[in-house]
Structure 1
C-alpha cells in the first residue's frame, strides 16, 4: 500500500509516518519501480502500535523501547512495567497540576459575578497580579527587600 493508504488506515499523517521512519520506529518500506514506498501489513500493525502508544501520551523514546521489547520479548516484564509506571506517574503529576489550575481559575472566576465589564473583579485581579500584588488565584510574591 502507498503512504496515503497507510495514513488513511491508521489515522496517522503521511509526514508523521515519514518522521517515524527516519526515527527508526518504522522499518524502511520496499520501493516500487516508480520509487513510491510500498508498505505492507507489518508496517500497518507497527504503526498502529506506535499510534496507540502515542495516544497514551508516551514519549517517542519510550515507544522505541517498547518496540524493541516487542521485537525481542524479554523473559520478564519488569522493564515494560517500569515504562508504564513512569508514564502513569507523569500523567498523575499533570492531573495534579491541572487540578491546581482549575482551582486557581475557579477562585479567579468567583471574583466577578456581574455581566458587565464596567468594574470587573477578574480584570482587577489580573491587573493586581501583573503588578506583583496578591490575587485570588496566587499567593503574594515576596516583595524585593532593600
Structure 2
C-alpha cells in the first residue's frame, strides 16, 4: 500500500509542510513517484515520521534528530543535556506561575519587578523603574533588604515627593528633605552595605554608579533629585551626630 504526502501527514498526525521540511533536512527519504509524478510513501516512511515526531515531542532539536535517533554514543549525553534544559524550563514556568499569582493577589502591575509585587502598586513609575534596574546590579540579599525598606517607607512623604513639581520652592524641598532624612538614617543603620555595596554587586562598582546616576537624572526631576541629595546629607549628619554623642558618653 502507498500513500500520498497528504495521506502520510494525516496518518502521522502532522502536516504536509512538516513532511516536506523533513525532506529538506534530510531526515526523511524522498520516495519514488508514480507515473503521474505523485510521491508514493510506504510503511517505512510512516514509521520514520512517527519516530521523528517522538523525538520532537521529547524536545530534541531538529538539528540533532538524525544523531539522537541513530542511537550513537553521544545519544545519552544529548538526552541528559535536554533533560537539564527541560528542568530549567519547568522551574522557569513554575516561577512565572508563582509571580502571576502574586501579581493577581496584590493587584500589582503586570510588569512589576519580580519579588516586589506586594508594594509595586503604591510605588511611582520612577521608583518601579529604579527597582527594575537595581535587580540587575544587586544580589538577592540586597534586594531582600530593599523590599524591607520599601515596606517600612513613610508613604505620605514618598507620595508628596512623587508629586513634587520641578519648580518646587526651596522651603518645600527642605521640608521634604527633613521628613525623608530620618528614614534614610534608619536604613543606613539597619543596612550598612548601603554606603559600601561592593560585596552585593553583580557588576563593577563603576558601572553601577554610572548607570544609577544616569537613571536618576532621567527618571526624577531636578526638585526631586535636590530633595534626595539634601535628605542624604541630613541623614549622614544625624548619624555623625549620634556617633559623636555615643563617643562623648563613652
The 3-state SS of whatever aligns with 2:77 is helix
1:144: Cα distance to partner?
2.0
Name the structure 2 match of 1:91: 86
Query: Residue 144 of structure 1 aligns to a residue in which SS?
Result: helix
Q: CA deviation at 1:101?
A: 1.1
Higher helix share: 2
TM-score between both structures, scaled by the size of structure 2:
0.46
Q: Aligned-pair distance for 1:126?
A: 7.4
Match of 2:77 in 1: 82
Tell me, which stretches of 5 or more residues in structure 1 are unaligned?
113-120
**Counterparts of 1:145 and 1:22 in 2: how far apart (Å)?**
53
Match of 1:22 in 2: 24
1:133 is displaced (CA, Å) by 0.8
Distance 1:58 1:122, change over 3 A: same
Deviation at 1:41, TM superposition (A): 0.9
Structure 1's consecutive aligned runs of 4 or more residues displaced over 3 angstroms after TM superposition are 121-132
- Structure 2, unaligned runs of 5 or more: 113-119, 135-210, 215-250
Contact 1:3 1:37 in 2 (8 A): yes
Are the aligned partners of 2:9 and 2:19 in contact in 1 as well (CA < 8 Å)? yes
Distance 2:76 2:124 in 1: 44
Provide, for residues 85-138 of structure 1, a one-character-per-residue CA deviation record: whole Å limited to 9, x for no partner.
Answer: 1110110010111122122112111113xxxxxxxx447947969646169xxx
User: CA offsets, 1:48-82, max 9 Å, x none?
Assistant: 0001111112111121212333xxxx4xxx42111
Q: Residue 52 and residue 129 in structure 1: after superposition, are their counterparts in 2 closer, same or farther (change >3 A)?
A: farther
* 1:52 correspondence with 2:47: no
Give the number of the structure whose alpha-carbon radius of gyration is greater: 2
